[in-house]
């Protein structure tokens, strides 16, 4: 099956000060698929993810090209705010802003200058439905987002990202702070979302990668070791290091 590429990474290198932490990563993220980045902590998987929408700008030096619609978005001249609107990010810790659920969801839209009440209402419902949160909160849109449970907060953060209508959603261990029930709800949500979005997520949870991801990239000590269909990586890895990691020999 030939799949279109949503985002292409070429020769990505990342440095924290003098410390070289990511070496020569080349990756093509397939469109409308879920790609999981796995590896031990410190393998550089989160660093790669955060480089994809320039969240590392203040923290690290990133070289190489990240091509998105034929634009190298790693070029400092590129409008980083638009990049982040097109390539959204959901973080490890749910971080709703201290305001109502409704205001949280439309926050990004408001920034983009959208004022039409009708459009905003519609987008709130749409995003919350996509994030599988609508039914739980539709009667309390005006109440504070901080009153929601951890899992609900994280789905609210997903909805907040979706509301800006990005093409790609980056997720940095989106369920690591959640209980198993919330985790499986979010995993279900992800599978729904890939109809419309390309999803790239970092996870330390191997089952999560095998359950939800179509593609899996394995990283070790800053190097990309192997990238293939999830089934291939888990059942029949080409590299010994991948096999060792999956069988729990290190990590």
Partner 1 sequence: MTPERIDKIATGIILGLAVMVGLVILGLLGYILAQGIPHISWHFLTSGAESFAAGGGIRDQLFNSLYLVVLTMIVSVPLALCAAIYLSEYAPDNRRTRLLRLAIEVLSSLPSVVVGLFGYLVFVLKFGLDFSLLAGALALTILNLPILTRSCEDALRQVPYLQRQAGLGLGMAKWRVTTKIVLPAALPGIITGAILSAGRIFGEAAALIYTAGQSAPVISYTDWNPFSPTSFLNPMRPAETLAVHIWKVNSEGLVPDARAVSNGSAAVLIITILLFNLAARFVGYRIKRRLTK
Partner 2 sequence: MDDLQKQLTQPSPESHQEWTGKIISSLAIILIGSLVLAILVFLTIKGIALFTDNGISIWRFLSQTDWQPSHQHYGALPMIVTSFSVTILAGVVALPLTLVVAVAITEILPKKMTGLFQPLIELLVGVPSVVYGYLGLTIIVPELQRLFGGTGFGILAATGVLFLMILPTMTSMTVDSLNAVPKQYRQASAGLGATRWQTISRVIVPSARDGILTAAVFGMARAFGEALAVQMVIGNTAVMPKGLIESSATLTSVLTTGIGNSVMGTADNNALWSLALILLIMSLIFNLLIHLVSKKGVA
Binding site for partner 2 (CB under 8 A): 68-71, 73, 77-79, 81-83, 86, 111, 113
Write out the binding residues for partner 1, residues 10-69 only, by CB under 8 A. Answer: 53, 55
Alpha-carbon gap, residue 231 to 61, rounded angstroms: 34
In the numeric block, the tokens 């099956």 are attached to 1
DSSP-derived 3-state class of residue 169 = strand
CB of 175 to partner 2, least distance (A): 30
Contacted entry of partner 2, partner 1, none for residue 205, CB cut-off 5 to 8 Å set by kind: none
Q: Out of 98, 113, 180, 248, name the contact with partner 1 by CB under 8 A.
A: 98
Does 178 engage in binding with partner 1 (CB under 8 A)?
Answer: no
* Residue 82 interacting with partner 1 (CB under 8 A): yes
Residue 155 partner contact from partner 2, partner 1, none using kind-dependent CB cut-offs of 5 to 8 Å? none
CA 239 – CA 233 distance, rounded (Å): 9
Binding test (CB under 8 A) with partner 1, winner from 43, 74, 154, 161: 161
Question: Is residue 107 part of the contact set for partner 1 (CB under 8 A)?
Answer: yes
Question: Residue 164 and residue 169: Cα distance in Å, rounded?
Answer: 11
Give residues with Cβ within 8 angstroms of 239, minimum separation 6: 218, 225, 226
Beta strands in the chain (DSSP E): 5-16, 19-30, 34-38, 61-68, 71-72, 87-90, 168-172, 198-202, 215-220, 223-229
- Map residues 129-148 to x or -, x wherever contact with partner 1 holds by CB under 8 A: ---------------x-x--
At its nearest, how many Å lie between partner 2 and the CB of residue 79?
6
Query: Position of tokens 């923290």?
Result: 59
Picked from partner 1, partner 2, none, the partner binding residue 151 (CB below 5 to 8 A depending on kind) is none
**Is 90 a binder of partner 1 (CB under 8 A)?**
yes
Q: How far apart are CA 251 and CA 245, in angstroms?
A: 6
Pairing of strands 5-16, 61-68: antiparallel
Q: Which of 100, 144, 103 is nearest to 120 (CA)?
A: 103
- Closest by CA to 134, choosing from 103, 159, 157, is 159
> Of the two residues 53 and 203, which places its CB atom closer to partner 1 in the complex?
53
The footprint of partner 1 on this chain (CB under 8 A) covers a number of residues equal to 24
Contacting residues toward partner 1, per CB under 8 A: 53, 55, 81-85, 88-91, 93, 95, 97-98, 107-108, 111, 144, 146, 157, 160-161, 164
């Amino acid at each position: 099956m030939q799949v279109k590429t949503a985002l292409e990474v070429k020769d990505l290198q990342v440095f924290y000060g003098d410390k070289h932490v990511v070496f020569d990563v080349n990756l093509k993220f397939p469109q409308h698929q879920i790609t999981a980045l796995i590896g031990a902590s410190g393998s550089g998987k989160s660093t790669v993810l955060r480089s994809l929408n320039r969240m590392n700008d203040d923290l690290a030096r990133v070289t190489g090209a990240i091509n998105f619609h034929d634009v190298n978005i790693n070029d400092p001249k590129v409008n980083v705010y638009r990049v982040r609107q097109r390539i959204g990010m959901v973080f490890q810790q749910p971080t709703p802003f201290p305001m109502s659920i409704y205001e949280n969801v439309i926050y990004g839209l408001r920034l983009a200058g959208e004022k039409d009440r009708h459009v905003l209402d519609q987008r709130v419902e749409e995003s919350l439905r996509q994030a599988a949160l609508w039914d739980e909160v539709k009667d309390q849109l005006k109440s504070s987002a901080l009153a929601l449970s951890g899992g609900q907060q994280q789905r609210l953060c997903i909805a907040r990202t979706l509301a800006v209508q990005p093409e790609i959603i980056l997720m940095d261990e989106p369920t690591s702070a959640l209980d198993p029930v919330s985790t499986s709800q979010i995993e279900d949500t992800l599978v729904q979302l890939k109809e419309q979005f390309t999803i790239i997520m970092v996870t330390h949870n191997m089952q999560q990668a095998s359950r939800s991801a179509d593609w899996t990239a394995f990283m070790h000590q800053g190097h990309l070791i192997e990238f293939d269909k999830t089934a291939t990586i888990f059942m029949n890895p080409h590299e010994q290091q991948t096999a060792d990691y999956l069988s729990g020999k290190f990590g």
